[in-house]
Amino acid sequence: MKKVLIIEDDAIIGKIIQLKIEYAAAQNSIAVEVSRVFDGEEGLRAVAEKNPDLIVLDLMMPKKSGFEVLESMKNAGTKEGGAPHIMVLTNLSGEGHKDKVTELGASAYFIKSGTTIQQIADYVVTQLGATPAPIQ
């Protein structure tokens, strides 16, 4: 079973992403467990406890920002079996932000206002090893 962790402080956005990922994974015959947490501190605990394959990470959050989460994960080193794939989903659109998160280990950078929930789900299922189902 693949594990996805969503670290997003907006409960509604997080829930919609979770449901869309679960649906897209089911459409592609991928067994997935999607967990959500609401701030960076909870996110770091969940990464250690759940050992996710993929993380959807917001940057602007309470307690610890997404930047701090990435920094902590980078400093902790690679987990057994390799580091999780980290997809940043944020409203920060500055080029410097993208460069910084890439340097800290993120594999993808999406701007919320320019990305649909379907695109997020398609990206996730592709990274989990499937070809996304066509949009219906």
- pLDDT of residue 136 exceeding 70, the answer is no
> Are 53 and 31 within 8 A, CB to CB?
no
Residue-number span of the structural domain to which 119 is assigned: 2-127
Tell me, what amino acid is at 72? S
CATH number at residue 10: 3.40.50.2300
- pTM as predicted: 0.90
**pLDDT category, 32, cuts 50, 70, 90?**
very high
The answer to whether residue 50 is domain-embedded is yes
- Please report whether residue 100 resides in a domain: yes
Go through 120-136 and write b for each residue having 16 or more CB atoms within 10 A of its CB, e for each that does not.
Answer: bbbbbbebbebebeeee
Calculate ∠ Cα 83-89-91, nearest 5°: 145
Total tally of structural domains belonging to the chain: 1
CA distance to 99, 129, 131, per residue, from 95 (Å): 6, 29, 29
In this structure, is residue 135 part of a structural domain?
no
40-49, pLDDT tens digit by residue? Answer: 999 999 999 9
Quick one: pLDDT at residue 132? 46
The residue type at 114: G
Asked whether the predicted pLDDT for residue 18 surpasses 60, the reply is yes
Q: Are 56 and 120 in contact (CB under 8 A)?
A: yes
